Chains A and B, each alone.
Chain A
Amino acid sequence: MLDQAGTSFHPAATSHDRWRSQRCLRALTLLLLCWSLAACAVSWISPYSKESADRIGELSKSVLGMYQDAFLLDEDKRAEAFKGPYKVRQAEIETRIRLHLLQEEARPNNKSSVRIAGDMLDVWQSQRDALQRADPTARSDVALGIHRRNMNDLLRAALVAEEAKKSAGLSN
């Protein structure tokens, strides 16, 4: 039996049936809303990475340790040290910074951490060259202190950027 619109019509349909179909329709609408909201979560920045934070921590230990050891040397012995054993330590640290940069580049939506790692590499290379110069003030306590502060601030920026991802509730 058809009604005027041509759709099926059940004369036995009660108000209870209509109530049930309305309820089903409402549930379906909510289901669609839930589904669309679940798909709407945004991801503008990479999730927190403990490996990255640990890597920055290890880098800090090496960089700050090298400067701490250099401070213990007399100023007139530093030039020789930076041409010998410290040159090797600088090269090792540079390799680790390059590796850190590569690993940051491999993470999606990670432009801030990549930029910080790139700056870290530039500053480290600048310091490597500066500490080799003939200028005796290049390795003075004041110069070493500012070089160390510069690396310290960059390492801290890298850690803060990583921790921001954690405090925002984004973690692997």
Chain B
Amino acid sequence: MAFDFDSVFKTALQAGAAAAHAGGKAAEDWIRETAQANRDALKAIADGVLKGKISQETAEILLNERRKVLDGEAAALDAIVTAAAQAAVNAFLGSLFSAFKSALKLAL
């Protein structure tokens, strides 16, 4: 039985693309959620200052905190993207590996 490398490669590519697609969706969802959360937080600070519920100094402290929150959210996005890339590469390699293993069993 001939080893159909093209078919094996295509299957492996599909496995990698499926994993990358799932990670890409998670990253997109995270960007949307954090954008909305940041919008709400900045609006709350601005409203607080306008209504005299918080002083200018308190607002500055809260804005500085928000900068750190944004940094943390960017780090989470980095983790999502890195994990997705790793899952995609390993799904691709894993699919190739199992195809070669099956071919090896047949060859022996």
- Name A's B-contacting residues (CB within 8 A): 23, 26-27, 30-31, 33-34, 37-38, 40-45, 111-113, 115-116, 119-120, 122-123, 126-127, 130, 133, 135, 137-138, 140-143, 145-147, 149-150, 153-154, 157-158, 160-162, 164-165, 167-170
Contact = CB atoms under 8 A, between A and B. Distances in A.
Interface residues of B, number: 53
Contacts of B26: 164, 167
A153 B73 contact: yes
B39 to A, nearest CB: 12
B24 interface: no
Contact of A154 (B22, B40, B45, B72): B72
A126 B65 contact: yes
Interface of B: 3, 19, 22-23, 26, 30, 34, 37, 40-41, 44-45, 47-48, 51, 53-55, 57-58, 61-62, 64-66, 68-69, 71-73, 75-76, 78-80, 82-87, 89-90, 93-94, 96-97, 100-101, 103-104, 107-108
